[in-house]
Amino acid sequence: MSESNTPEQNSQPASATPPKQESLLANLLINIAIPALILAKLSGDDWLGTKWAIVVALAFPLLYGLRDFLQNGKANFFSGLGVVSILLTGGISLMELDAKYIAMKEAAIPALLGIATVVSLRTRWPLVKTFLYNDKVLDTDKIAAKLEDNNNLGAFELTLKQASWMVAASFFLSSVLNYVLAKVILTSPPGSEAFNAELGKMTALSYPVIVVPSMIVLILAMVFLFRRIGKLTGLKLEDIMAAHHR
């Protein structure tokens, strides 16, 4: 991003901001609100029925994820993971398996992301660079040059490790909250109208109960990383941000 020419930089903020806002609203509606309403209100025999309600409800986030893939023209690991999660939820529900498997699935996916974040520290591509330290948000070239000038590359690697553990903690927190939420809410027999209503309730509560606490931890990790970069480089926040974020 930092290598784009000036006209592109000048036009990017105006064109990039609206899609981000629209995407946030679309995510909330398509991934949470609409599926929750369908499961809660249309699962009766007078409407879609229990199985078709699950199919229709999960079709919204599934098709939204596929649309995102087609628009971007490339696979996104996290979007792909979301699609897999949706398919697993649908499969478990339609096969009327015990609700404990949904709880296990809900816990397993963020837990695997947390483990992957920690394990990636031993590779050349730590995931913290995908989440927080990347050239879409930060001017990584300028930061790297300043770190080298100040002989702080080693200290920065330690900072990345600490931030990685904070990012992993957000995933582990999400894993625990996912499991508890599923175990507490999913109490009715699978395949019943009551079970679908509970699945809709779990979907609706996932944002305030799971996403918000996890995002708070992630934001704290971001603040920690940005402050440490400022101390190690001597640069102000506006100086380390990528050009299109200034």
Where helices occur in the chain by DSSP H, the ranges are: 6-28, 34-41, 50-72, 77-94, 99-119, 128-131, 140-149, 153-185, 193-206, 212-233, 237-240
pLDDT number for residue 10: 45
User: Averaged over 23-50, what is the pLDDT?
Assistant: 78
* pLDDT band, residue 226 (cuts 50/70/90): very high
Nearest alpha-carbon partner for 182 in 93, 243, 61? 93
pLDDT digits (tens, 9 = 90+) for 153-166: 999 999 999 999 99
The pLDDT tens digits of the residues spanning 72-83 come to 666 556 666 777
Does 1 reside within a domain?
no
The chain-wide mean pLDDT, for the chain, equals 82
Model pLDDT, residue 73: 64
Residue 151, in any domain of the structure: yes
Residue 245 — pLDDT band, cuts 50, 70, 90? low
pTM confidence score: 0.75
The model's confidence at residue 11, banded by pLDDT at 50, 70 and 90, is: very low
How far apart are alpha carbons 51 and 13 in whole angstroms?
A: 44
pLDDT of residue 169: 92
Average pLDDT over residues 184-190: 93
Residue with tokens 């995908």: 130
Number of domains in the chain: 1
Distance from C-alpha of 76 to C-alpha of 225, rounded to nearest angstrom: 24
pLDDT at residue number 143: 93
Res 232: pLDDT? 94
- Summarize the confidence of residues 130-137 as an average pLDDT: 80
Quick check: 17 pLDDT over 60?
no
What pLDDT was estimated at residue 237? 85
What is the per-residue pLDDT across 39-71, written as a single tens digit (0 to 9) for each? 888 888 778 888 898 989 888 888 887 777 777
In a domain, 98, yes or no: yes
Residue range of the domain that includes 115:
6-245
Residue 166 domain-assigned? yes
Pairwise pLDDT comparison (215 vs 65), residue with the higher score: 215
Handedness of CA 131, 199, 38, 97 (dihedral sign): positive
**pLDDT score, position 182:** 94
Tell me the percentage of the chain whose pLDDT exceeds 70.
83
pLDDT at 5: 47
